[in-house]
Amino acid sequence: MTDTALPQPESSNFQNEGLSETGTERVSYLRAGHSLSSWLLTTDHKRIAILYLIAVTFFFFIGGTAAALIRLDLLTPQGDLLTNEGYNRAFTIHGVIMVWFFLIPSIPNTFGNFLIPLMIGAKDLAFPKLNLASWYIFMAGGLFTLFVLIAGGVDTGWTFYTPLSSMFAHGSVVLAAVAVFIAGFSSILTGLNFIVTIHKLRCPGMTWRRLPLFVWSIYATSIILVLATPVLAITLVLIAAERLFGLGIFDPALGGDPLLYQHLFWFYSHPAVYIMVLPALGVASELVAAAARKPIFGYQFVAGSSIAIAIIGFLVWGHHMFVAGQSMYASAVFSFLSLAVAVPSGIKVYNWTATLYKGHISLDPPFLFAMSFIGLFTVGGLTGLILAMLAIDVHVHDTYFVVAHFHYIMVGGTVSAFFGALNYWWPKMIGRTYSLVWGRLSAILIFLGFNLTFFPQFLLGYLGMPRRYHVYPPEFQLLHVFSTVGAGLLGVAYVMPFAYLYYSMRYGTPAGFNPWGATGLEWTVPSPPPKHNFETIPVVDSLPYQYDVELEEDHG
């Protein structure tokens, strides 16, 4: 924390219950209207970010509840808790909610919304009303999903593979498809808004080489959102039409091809993996530089690798189809390209490491999350290379090895980065500091709980336990028990940040402009920022991450 003078709560505002309000807060976006409609009809990107934060947190816990059911059911080899059908529905709703209603909107729609205008020196996003509209569209999709949940759920898995989804599945496949279809429009509009904002609303002097890396990665993410999501939309339309009218596009008996579904689905859904992880990579870049108090190593490469990941990410979808009957020549090409996508990812990890090298590293909560992000992302990425290799994939395809791999990326990576971002920018968003001790504790517990949950799943998969089964041979039980215990720990640890952050809203000390002593335009405005962000539009005249380097040796 910096030792510059903090704005103090005004004594006249000390009410009972310790509620207080600083002068900064009184003119901030948080107090610019107190009615419900001032929130629900706002076009302020910061308020919309808060709306998204509340929504995705809600869905995170719904999806988490489904995960808890799955893990409890897997405690015993017979699957005592859920029926076969019930288990299928639990993992489907877990997947659908976590992918489309938490991971994809999590970092872009909350932190992207809040930070992009602040980071590039703009008063708002390019299309503020569209931004609000996309929140409503997202909520409409979310309500549909909840309706599907209440109506009994779906049992196809989040991938809706044909012919299961089109001919055999019971449950509300069409409704679930509609829900995701609607949410997709929200993604497209948000992505479009970000792209135009980053191109057209940068303040004077904010050249591409001076953009914060978080902005670069959100830009890359937005490209995928705009170009891939419509293909998912039409694929879902085709699934619904196939199920309702028996079109035959995915039915070989009618001249169609079930693999075509997988092609169209993964043309979206593999890039969607990068939608989920690219923003996390951007967060990590910000946090690493702030933790090490050094300029990021190889800025151009870290920025360029985001774009490279976005583009190469479109060329690898076939690695989901190695054992599905795809042409072996296509498989070979997809395998090679999947290995190639590791290069830009590797560039990022090496550059972060080089940034940290000899840095005077802070271990405050956000930075602990960033460190655990780097470790878990690396494990997830390296096991991804294993899966990208044709011959090995044949053995571990559709096993827990795959489950562990993508959870290391999605949960170990993206969720850690989400909490890192939440802890890092919370004082900016709310204007209050929180308990660093509790923050560190929860970062460590999340790291431990995560590894205890998912590392055993690598072993399970390697030993041959297939995914999506809840009845298994007794010799797998021990590893499953470890995993479930880990999930319990993880569940508790995930609640902690919300508890201490909520507490800080009432009882935290005022944060001041720049509690972490970080660089970036967002730290030059008051916390919480005023309604229009900047009194006068700033002018940028230097590169980002210009920290005064304090090397480790300088301090003995």
Partner 1 sequence: MKLSHPLLLVWVALMLLLVSTVVASQNLTGPFSLAVNLTIAFAKAALIYWFYMHLRQESGLARLAALAAGGWLAILFLFLSLDYVTR
Partner 2 sequence: MAETPLAARPPYSEPRQQHDAAMMGMYLFLGSEIMLFGGIFAVAAVIRILHPADIVESSRALHYLIGALNTGVLLTSSFFVASAVEATKGGRRRAGATWLAAAAVAGLVFLVVKGYEYGAEYREGLLPLPGADTQFRTAPQHLFMNLYVLATGLHAIHLLIGIVLLSVLAPCLAFGKVRLPDRGILIIAAALYWHLVDVIWVFIYPVFYLAR
Q: Which residues bind partner 2 (CB under 8 A)?
A: 117, 122-128, 130, 188, 192-193, 195-196, 199-201, 226-231, 233-235, 237-238, 241, 245, 247-249, 253-257, 260, 263-264, 532, 537
Beta-carbon contacts of residue 1 (< 8 Å; ≥ 6 apart): 433, 515, 516, 517
The CA-to-CA distance between both ends of the chain, in Å, stands at 21
As beta bridge partners, residue 510 has: 432
CB atoms within 10 A of CB 80: 11
User: What is the spatial distance between Cα 406 and Cα 412, in angstroms, rounded to a whole number?
Assistant: 9
Does residue 340 interact with partner 1 by CB under 8 A? no
Per partner kind, with CB cut-offs from 5 to 8 A, the member of partner 2, partner 1, none near residue 240 is none
The residue within the footprint of partner 1, chosen from 72, 241, 259, 389 (CB under 8 A), is 259
Instruction: Pick one of partner 2, partner 1, none as the site partner of residue 293 (Cβ within 5 to 8 A by kind).
Output: none
Buried b (16+ CB within 10 A) or exposed e, 320-338: bbbeeebeeeebeebbebb
Say which entry of partner 2, partner 1, none residue 327 contacts (CB below 5 to 8 A, set by partner kind): partner 1
Amino acid in position 339 = L
Of 79 and 230, nearer to partner 1 (C-beta) is 230
Shortest distance in whole angstroms from residue 304 CB to partner 1? 17
125 binds partner 1 (CB under 8 A): no
Nearer to partner 2, 236 or 281 (CB): 236
Residue 527 phi, psi dihedral angles, 5° rounding: -115, 125
Nearer to partner 1, 74 or 308 (CB): 308
Give the chain's count of helices (H) and strands (E): 19, 0
* Minimum CB distance to partner 2, residue 45 (Å): 9
Q: Is residue 199 within the footprint of partner 1 (CB under 8 A)?
A: yes
Task: Give the C-alpha distances (Å, rounded to integers) separating 216 from 38, 112, 197, 546.
Answer: 31, 11, 12, 18
Contact region for partner 1 (CB under 8 A) — 18-26, 227-235, 436-444, 526-534? 227-235
- For partner 1, the binding residues in 506-545 under the rule CB under 8 A are none
Does 263 engage in binding with partner 1 (CB under 8 A)?
A: yes
Kindly tell me which of 216 and 352 has the beta carbon lying closer to partner 1: 216
How big is the chain, counted in residues?
Answer: 556
Task: Choose the one of partner 1, partner 2, none that binds residue 330, judging by a C-beta under 5 to 8 angstroms depending on kind.
Answer: partner 1
Q: CB-wise, 97 or 232, nearer to partner 2?
A: 232
The residue among 196 and 354 lying less far from partner 1, judged by its C-beta, is 196
Q: Is 161 in the site for partner 1 (CB under 8 A)?
A: no
Q: What radius of gyration, in Å, describes the C-alpha atoms of the chain?
A: 23
Residue 326 binds which entry of partner 1, partner 2, none, with Cβ cut-offs from 5 to 8 Å by kind? Answer: partner 1
Is 434 near partner 1 (CB under 8 A)?
A: no
Which is nearer to partner 1, 314 or 352 (by Cβ)?
A: 314
d(CA 210, CA 520): 10
Residue number with CB closer to partner 1 (245 or 329): 329
Q: CB under 8 A: which stretch of 226-234, 374-382, 456-464, 473-481 binds partner 1?
A: 226-234
Residue 524's nearest CA partner among 516, 532, 514 is 514
Using CA atoms, how far apart are residues 302 and 307, in angstroms rounded to an integer?
A: 9
**Per-residue DSSP letter, 5:** P
137-145, 224-232, 277-285, 423-431 -> range binding partner 1 (CB under 8 A): 224-232
- Residue 315 is a binding residue for partner 1 (CB under 8 A): yes
Phi and psi at residue 295, to the nearest 5°: -60, 145
The minimum distance between CB 227 and partner 1, in angstroms, equals 5
Distance of CA 63 to CAs 38, 57, 93, 394, Å? Answer: 29, 10, 7, 30
Residue 384 beta carbon to partner 1: minimum distance, rounded to whole angstroms: 19
CB 431 within 8 A of CB 7: no
Neighbouring residues of 133: CB distance < 8 A, sequence distance ≥ 6: 189
The yes or no reply on residue 216 touching partner 1 (CB under 8 A) is: no
Cβ atoms of 359 and 289 within 8 Å: the answer is no
Q: Is 310 left (phi over 0), alpha (psi -120 to 50) or beta?
A: alpha
Closer residue to partner 1, CB minimum distance, 133 or 315: 315
Q: Is the peptide bond before 163 cis (omega within 30 degrees of 0)?
A: yes
Strand boundaries in 259-370, DSSP class E: none
Which of 268, 500 has the CB closer to partner 1?
268
Do 291 and 359 form a contact (C-beta atoms < 8 A)?
A: yes
Q: Is 323 in the site for partner 1 (CB under 8 A)?
A: no
Is there binding between residue 330 and partner 1 (CB under 8 A)?
Answer: yes
Residue 130 touches partner 1, criterion: CB under 8 A: no
Peptide bond into 466 cis (omega under 30): no
CB nearer to partner 1: give 155 or 251.
251
The one segment of 136-144, 180-188, 317-325, 435-443 that binds partner 1 by CB under 8 A: 317-325
Q: Select the span of 34-42, 239-247, 315-323, 436-444 touching partner 1 (CB under 8 A).
A: 315-323
Q: Which residues lie near partner 1 (CB under 8 A)?
A: 195, 199, 223, 227-228, 231, 259, 263, 267, 314-315, 317-318, 325-330, 333-334
